[in-house]
């Protein structure tokens, strides 16, 4: 069997996903065969593997960092929120139903432990190392009894736990100490130490605090990663994007032509796969922003209506905010609009939905000659085709079945004037097609924008993953990390009071 490590975090968005990817890339460079693993993921950003399984995009990104093909084994449980209190449960890549949070944590989650442990066991029999990512914080003591993704999986596999803290938020020492002290004695035995993320400044000024933390907890810090702009790596949570504004934190590269191209993405509720526009943001001279007001569409050269887990809800939101009228005006004026997946469905004439929203018959925006009927079975596919004379690859994740009754064919959807619609996610990552599409947009918008002739989204993604590997290799104690992965948690780690009461016994497979 292989070694392994669980990367946990003091909070959501502490950096677990990128640290896991960075460790995977570092190990791969060293010739270690490695696989990522996240037992349970809650995300609206998902991906379709070659065998037709739906998993979190973060795990697909981590698999790319490890230079392996992503599979359902790497993310056996995916929860896709459909509202404040319920989620679609995707098990081994296939949807198995909707469930409330109470129902899931009340029994279903614990019943999945054997499944996730079995997946981890299979990965460990295939790879030299498995790097697991936790979810949220391991110190969510109200959920510990049914936990299968943090200390639950660490206990089952006897994996050491590395806790990541985002120092840019402040309070990282209290977070490290408090996270450890809220765990039971048995869980604390696995917490090997800490990793500081997003540090700005002189590390020597931090070192006294790290020494004090070691004295208080008996646990060392395995590295201090500097704040790094412009990573652009797939995120799990689309809910924060509209607050963040620009897609990329890096400085926008200058345009090749005389003009920039402005792209406005409607930040619809339950937005899914907002990473579709990352390839646009990677183009020199293209400025991509998420918007939620009608006036923000006025100076946009292209408006994108992205995917959503709530098509009818997004349609209502667009109408309530005046964005629907603004989109209709754009269409009438011949100004470009692109709808992707749920956004494509919104642009159609009519929706019949007894599955997702159970709203029944609903009128769409009527900008494309399309009628949509929601089927109970989800379409999960990796289509390949051609558009604008260029090859295109993508992936499909949707319940809505579109009947296209007119317009020009466009991938699986259609085009009418300058309004485009498709169910294909990821199509803009096809470089030649993206350049041709942006040329069409610039022409319709009257912009003297010229796509860069040599932008390769795949190459940029590899460079970003290499940057993550560099962060680990240059700023973490890699020898100590390897010892953790190979030998497990250090012996004799002290207990930090008060500790939580012992959780229910965790089933452990001897093969692990």
C-alpha torsion sign, points 488, 498, 149, 166: negative
Transcribe 122-171 into DSSP letters.
HHHHHSSEEEEE--S-TT-TTSGGG-SSSHHHHHHHT--EEEEEEGGGS-
Give the three-state DSSP class for 355. Answer: coil
Which strand (E) or helix (H) includes residue 421?
A: strand 419-422
Q: What CA–CA distance (Å, rounded) separates 62 from 175? A: 26
Beta-carbon neighbour count of residue 53 at 10 Å? Answer: 23
Residue 334's alpha-carbon distances to 157, 237, 344, in angstroms, are 58, 33, 17
User: Among 259, 183, 236, 258, which residue's Cα sits nearest to residue 497?
Assistant: 183
Tell me which residues are annotated as active site: 341, 425
User: Among 77, 129, 84, which residue's Cα sits nearest to residue 102?
Assistant: 84
Q: What CA–CA distance (Å, rounded) separates 23 from 65? A: 9
Asked if the bond preceding 360 is cis, omega within 30° of 0, the reply is no
User: Among 148, 129, 122, which residue's Cα sits nearest to residue 35?
Assistant: 129
Residue 73's alpha-carbon distances to 63, 121, 153, in angstroms, are 11, 10, 14
User: Among 351, 271, 335, which residue's Cα sits nearest to residue 305?
Assistant: 271
Q: Give yes or no for a contact between 248 and 219, defined as CB atoms under 8 angstroms apart.
A: no
User: Among 45, 43, 18, 17, which residue's Cα sits nearest to residue 274?
Assistant: 45
Structure-derived torsion over alpha carbons of residues 216, 222, 226, 227, reported in degrees to the nearest 10 = -70
Transcribe 2-59 into DSSP letters.
-EEEEEEESSTTSSHHHHHHHHHHHHHHTT--EEEE-SEEE-S-EEE-TTS-EEEHHH
Using alpha carbons only, how large is the chain's radius of gyration in Å? 23
β-pairing, 337-340 vs 302-305, is parallel
């Amino acid at each position: 069997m292989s070694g392994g490590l669980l990367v946990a975090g003091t909070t959501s968005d502490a950096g677990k996903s990128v640290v896991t990817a960075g460790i995977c890339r570092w190990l791969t460079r060293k010739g270690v065969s490695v696989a990522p693993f996240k037992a349970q993921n809650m995300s609206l950003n998902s991906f379709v593997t070659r065998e037709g399984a739906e998993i979190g995009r973060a795990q697909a990104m981590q698999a790319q960092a490890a230079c392996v093909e992503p599979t359902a084994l790497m993310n056996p449980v995916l929860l896709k929120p459909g509202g404040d209190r319920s989620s679609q449960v995707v098990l081994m890549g296939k949807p198995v139903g909707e469930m409330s949070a109470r129902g899931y944590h009340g029994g279903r989650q614990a019943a999945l432990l054997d499944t996730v442990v079995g997946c981890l066991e299979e990965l460990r029999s295939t790879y030299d190392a498995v790097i697991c990512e936790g979810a949220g914080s391991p110190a969510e003591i109200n959920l510990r009894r049914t936990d299968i993704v943090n200390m639950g999986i660490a206990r089952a596999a006897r994996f050491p736990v590395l806790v990541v803290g985002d120092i840019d938020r402040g309070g990282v020492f209290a977070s490290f100490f408090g996270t450890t002290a809220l765990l039971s004695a048995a869980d604390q035995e696995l917490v090997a130490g800490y990793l500081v993320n997003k540090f700005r400044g002189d590390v020597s000024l931090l070192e006294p605090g790290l020494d004090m933390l070691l004295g208080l907890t008996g646990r060392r810090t395995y590295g201090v990663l500097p704040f790094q702009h412009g990573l652009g790596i797939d995120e799990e949570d689309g809910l924060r994007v509209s607050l963040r504004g620009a897609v990329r934190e890096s400085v926008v590269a200058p345009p090749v032509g005389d003009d920039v191209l402005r792209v406005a993405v409607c930040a619809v509720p339950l937005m899914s796969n907002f990473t579709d526009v990352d390839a646009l943001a990677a183009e020199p001279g293209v400025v991509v922003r998420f918007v939620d007001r009608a006036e923000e569409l006025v100076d946009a050269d292209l408006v994108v209506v992205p995917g959503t887990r709530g098509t009818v809800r997004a349609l209502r939101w667009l109408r309530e905010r005046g964005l629907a009228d603004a989109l209709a005006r754009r269409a009438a004026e011949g100004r470009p609009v692109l709808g992707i997946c749920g956004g494509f469905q919104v642009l159609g004439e009519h929706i019949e939905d007894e599955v997702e929203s159970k709203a029944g018959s609903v009128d769409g925006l009527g900008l494309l000659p399309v009628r949509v009927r929601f089927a109970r079975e989800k379409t999960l596919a990796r289509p390949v085709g051609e558009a604008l004379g260029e090859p295109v690859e993508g992936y499909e994740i949707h319940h809505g079945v579109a009947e296209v009754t007119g317009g020009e064919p466009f991938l699986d959807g259609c085009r009418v004037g300058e309004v485009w619609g498709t169910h294909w996610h990821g199509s803009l990552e096809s470089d030649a097609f993206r350049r041709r599409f942006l040329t069409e947009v610039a022409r319709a918008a009257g912009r003297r924008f010229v796509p860069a002739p040599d932008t390769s989204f795949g190459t940029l993604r590899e460079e970003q993953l290499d940057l993550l590997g560099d962060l680990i290799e240059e700023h973490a104690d890699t020898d100590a990390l390897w010892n953790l992965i190979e030998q497990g948690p250090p012996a004799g780690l002290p207990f930090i009071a008060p500790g939580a009461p012992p959780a229910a016994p965790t089933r452990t497979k001897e093969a692990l």
